[in-house]
Amino acid sequence: MQNAPVVGLPVDYFLRQLEEFANGRRKSADVNKANAFEMAAMARNLTPAEAPPPPSTSGRCRSSRGSG
């Protein structure tokens, strides 16, 4: 199933997925699904109060990802 419900998933996971959509690192498996583009647009427009950044994982700092 490509689009499983988010109920029961950890909040940190959900916030990480929003961040990935917002910065273009997460894409839909089906490029013809319009809702993937809508999700990315919504994620880009959320404020930090609406979707706070997820905590860093594995000791990585969010601000240093991709810079080294």
Query: Could you write out the DSSP letters of every residue in 6-32?
Result: -TTS-HHHHHHHHHHHHTT----SSTT
- Look up the pTM and report it: 0.60
- Average pLDDT estimate for 49-61: 68
| DSSP 8-state assignment for residue 61 | -
* Closest C-alpha to 19, from 58, 50, 54, 47: 54
Q: What is the pLDDT of residues 4-41, one digit of tens each?
A: 777 888 988 888 888 888 888 887 777 777 787 888 88
- Tokens standing for residue 48: 């930090």
Confidence (pLDDT) at 2: 61
Question: Cα–Cα distance between 1 and 36 in angstroms, integer?
Answer: 15
Higher pLDDT, 65 or 32: 32
Confidence (pLDDT) at 57: 54
Confidence (pLDDT) at 3: 65
